[in-house]
Amino acid sequence: MNLKSTLTALAVAAGLTLPGAASAEKVKMGVSIPAATHGWAGGLNWHAQEAKTRLEAAYPDLEVVLVTANNPTEQANALEDLVSVHQIDALVILPFESEPLTGPVLNVKESGAFITVVDRGLSQDGIEDVYVAGNNPELGRVSGEYIKSRLPDGGDIVVLRGIPTVIDDERVEAFEAEIEGSGINVLDMKHANWNRDDGFTVMQDFLSRFPKIDAVWAQDDDIALGVIEAVKQAGREDELFIVGGAGMKDVIKRVMDGDELVPVDVLYPPAMIATAMDVTALKFFSNAPVQGRYVLGAPLITPENAKDFYFPDSPF
């Protein structure tokens, strides 16, 4: 009993004094991102961790609190903890979903924190101070543009879509708009869920179904890796080429090595979380104005520039 109450008292004391003491001098940046449940999110986590280490070394007065969540509810809970327990001065968030997290982020803003939103926008305007966005329609457009340039006289292509979501729709709509009227014929589109195994099976079936395929838009590098195996198994490497997307190191390596089957990749970088964290840190440690929208490009990765996008240590 005695010991227990002493411990409780200590814990309370620690809880009361430490954050107070720390927040008096240090700027606290909370970073809330989805857990590493698939390849791209794994890269996101790795880049967030790297940016945390780098920023804390660069700005001794900065403390970064990195929390991950498995679903929107968990992320909303994490936001409450960031405010009540850590008393953050700034929040960098990649929302799981726009709708359910708009309210919780608004609550964080009302606590006085500076808000940076990454990748997926909130469903209400004016909450965030900084918005760093990847460009999904641009990814679709750039992919379409490249396929068009390779098939100037038109041709037959297949498309492997991701998980049925807004992100997937935006990419596919922009892609379709870009190739419209170019004589390129989409034989069929199927969902491969941004997954290697699904990419493999869907492509196997496309190959048994269509005797002539000139190009594959896999949209995502995980899918692309599955597609590559299916194409190799069927021995049809020479008749087509594959365009993925995201910038996974294995695929960028192939582009760098001049692989004919995977001639290019389109960037949708998980490192955008680092962009957001850097911009947010500038707000506190420089005079540079940072408020606004930052829309990242979706550049075409070719053998010439591939080395700029190659991070061999990243898990993605």
Partner 1 sequence: MTDQTTSARPASGGFSIDFKAWGPLLALAALCIFGFILNPAFASEGNISNILTRSAFIGVIAVGATFVITAGGIDLSVGSMAAFISGVMIMVMNGLVETMGVSVATILVGVGLSVFLGAMAGLANGLLTTRGKIEAFIVTLGTMGIYRSLVTYLADGGTLSLNFDLRSLYRPVYYGEVLFVPVPVLVLAIVAILGWVLLNRTAFGRHCVAIGSSESVARYSAVKINRVKTLTYVIQGLCVSLATIIYVPRLGSASSQTGVMWELEAIAAVIIGGTVLKGGYGRIGGTVVGAIMLTTIGNILNLTDLISNYLNGAVQGVIIIVAVWLQRGQWKRRGRSGDGG
Classify residue 150 as exposed, middle or buried by CB count within 10 Å of its CB (0-12, 13-18, 19+): middle
Closest CA to 241 of 139, 114, 147: 147
Q: Which of 86, 190 has the CB closer to partner 1? A: 190
Q: Which is nearer to partner 1, 172 or 281 (CB)?
A: 172
Distance CA 159, CA 13 (A): 59
CB atoms within 10 A of CB 209: 11
**Which pair of structure tokens corresponds to residue 182?**
């170019």
Distances (CA, A) of 37 to 14, 161, 255, 316: 34, 19, 26, 12
Q: Residue 153: how many CB atoms within 10 A of its CB?
A: 8
Q: How is residue 210 annotated by DSSP?
A: -
Nearest to 266 by CA among 297, 304, 293: 297
Q: How far is the CB of 199 from partner 1 (least distance, A)?
A: 9
Q: Which is nearer to partner 1, 122 or 203 (CB)?
A: 203
Q: Which positions touch partner 1 (CB under 8 A)? A: 35-39, 41-43, 45-46, 161, 164, 188-191, 195-197, 200-202, 204-209, 222, 225-226, 229, 233-234, 250, 314-316
Which residues make Cβ contacts (< 8 Å) with residue 11, sequence separation at least 6?
Answer: none
Q: Residue 196 CB, nearest distance to partner 1 (Å)?
A: 5
Closer Cβ to partner 1, 122 or 228, answer by number: 228
Shortest Cβ distance from residue 220 to partner 1 (Å)? 12
| Residue 295 to residue 84: CA distance in whole angstroms | 31
| Six-digit token string for 187 | 């034989």
Please say which residue, 249 or 283, places its beta carbon nearer to partner 1.
Answer: 249
- Min CB(13)–partner 1 separation in Å: 34
**Nearest distance, CB of residue 205 and partner 1, angstroms:** 4
Spell 54-86 as b/e; 16+ CB within 10 A means b.
ebeeebeebbbbbbbbeebebbbebbeebbeeb
Shortest spacing between CB 140 and partner 1, in angstroms: 17
Name the helix (H) or strand (E) containing 11: helix 2-25
Instruction: Tell the smallest beta-carbon distance from residue 161 to partner 1 (Å).
Output: 7
Closer CB to partner 1, 99 or 197, in the complex: 197
Residue number, 182 or 201, with CB nearest to partner 1: 201
